[in-house]
């Protein structure tokens, strides 16, 4: 992208109209990370939450050395829990293992379920087996969404010794939990996971049965 185009985007990010600023952020999709990040930083403290939210997401996609420390600081200090949750989610997109401790801290210390949910999802994205203990705690939480995040993430980190604990959810009344379980089990090529997937492939809910069938195909391939 030419300097002229970048200057135009930069100018639109300073517009008094929030829609212009959102469109300018969207147009950064085609811009190289090293050119995009300085522009994204211009609206990180925007007065409009949707603009801030989109800027934070963009930092997760446009990876430079600057992104992780900015996102960790937002996760740890921003007064708005939605922004903290966005930062946790963006750290998962970065897939930078150095974010591990910050995400674990957010899971244990943040009082908002949305932030804890985002942290659990992102720990799965990092694919680090050290997250197993945190994710098992999420699994046994009273929050259904945390249970869903944990089931998915335990599959992503390939915590094979946690299969017994996630299989308890095969009988859940919540079809979304059964669907997450069917997706997660596709990460494990074991007798127990294959047997559970065959059971879930007959589920009355079509999304659960499709997810189980797809996971069985993944294992077979």
pTM of the model: 0.92
pLDDT of 1: 61
Q: Tell me which DSSP letter residue 125 carries.
A: H
Q: Of 123, 148, 142, 118, whose CA–CA distance to 134 is shortest? A: 123
Cα(146)–Cα(21) distance, integer angstroms = 33
Q: Which residues of the chain have pLDDT under 50?
A: none
Classified as helix, coil or strand, 142 is coil
Measured CA to CA, the distance from residue 114 to residue 194 in angstroms comes to: 32
Token code pair at residue 46:
């925007």
Determine the Cα–Cα distance for residues 120 and 98; give it in Å rounded to an integer: 15
Q: Which pLDDT does position 102 carry in this prediction?
A: 98
What does the alpha-carbon distance between residue 79 and residue 18 come to, in Å, rounded to a whole number?
A: 21
Phi, psi for residue 31 in degrees, rounded to 5: -95, 140
Of the candidates 80, 81, 85, 47, which has an alpha carbon nearest to the alpha carbon of residue 71?
85
Question: How far apart are the C-alpha atoms of 92 and 96, rounded to whole Å?
Answer: 8
Q: Give 136-166 pLDDT, tens digit per residue.
A: 999 999 999 999 999 999 999 999 999 999 9
Cβ contacts of 23 within 8 Å, gap of 6 or more: 12
């Amino acid at each position: 992208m030419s300097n002229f185009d970048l200057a135009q985007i930069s100018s639109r990010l300073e517009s008094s109209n929030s829609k212009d600023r959102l469109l300018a952020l969207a147009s950064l999709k085609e811009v190289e990370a090293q050119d995009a990040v300085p522009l994204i930083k211009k609206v990180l403290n925007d007065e409009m939450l949707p603009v801030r939210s989109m800027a934070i997401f963009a930092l997760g996609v446009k990876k430079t050395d600057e992104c992780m420390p900015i996102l960790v600081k937002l996760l740890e200090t921003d007064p708005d829990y939605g922004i903290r949750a966005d930062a946790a989610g963006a750290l998962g997109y970065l897939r930078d293992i150095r974010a591990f401790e910050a995400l674990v801290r957010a899971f244990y210390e943040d009082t908002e379920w949305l932030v804890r949910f985002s942290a659990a999802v992102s720990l799965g994205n990092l694919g680090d087996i050290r997250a197993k203990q945190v994710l098992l705690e999420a699994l046994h939480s009273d929050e259904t969404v945390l249970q869903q995040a944990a089931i998915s993430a335990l599959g992503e980190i390939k915590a094979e010794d946690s299969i017994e604990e996630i299989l308890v959810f095969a009988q859940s009344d919540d079809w979304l939990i059964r669907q997450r379980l069917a997706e997660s089990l596709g990460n494990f090529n074991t007798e127990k996971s294959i047997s559970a997937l065959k059971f879930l492939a007959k589920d009355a809910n079509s999304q659960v049965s499709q997810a189980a069938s797809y996971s069985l195909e993944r294992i077979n391939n």
